Amino acid sequence: MYDYGFPAYVSVAEKKAKAKKSLDKLKKKNPDIEPVLIEGRSLAKNWWGKAWNINLESYADYSNRIARGKSYVRSNAVLDLKILKGRVVAKAQGSRAKPYEVEINIDGLSPKKWEQVTELCNHRIDSLEQLIEGKFPRELEVLFTDKKYGIFPSPEEIRFNCSCPDWAYMCKHVAAVLYGIGARLDYTHREIRHRKLRQLTSF
Query: Does residue 181 form part of some domain?
Result: yes
Query: Does residue 42 form part of some domain?
Result: yes
State the total domains in the chain: 1
The pLDDT of residue 4 is 46
Full domain range(s) for residue 93: 10-195
* pLDDT in single tens digits along all 203 residues of the chain: 444 444 566 677 888 889 999 999 999 988 899 999 988 788 888 888 888 998 888 886 777 778 888 889 999 999 999 988 889 999 999 988 899 999 999 988 888 877 877 777 776 666 656 666 777 767 677 777 777 667 888 888 899 999 999 877 789 999 999 999 999 887 765 555 444 333 232 33
Strand partners, 158: 106
The pLDDT of residue 194 is 43
As a 3-state breakdown, the chain gives helix, strand, coil percent values, each rounded to 5, of: 45, 15, 40
The pLDDT of residue 78 is 96
Query: Does residue 2 form part of some domain?
Result: no
Query: Does residue 3 form part of some domain?
Result: no
Query: Does residue 66 form part of some domain?
Result: yes
Query: Does residue 1 form part of some domain?
Result: no
Query: Does residue 203 form part of some domain?
Result: no
DSSP string, 12-52: HHHHHHHHHHHHHHHHHH-TT-------SS-S--SHHHHHH
Which letter, b or e, does each residue of 181-193 get, where b requires 16 or more Cβ atoms within 10 Å of its Cβ?
bbbbbbbebeeee
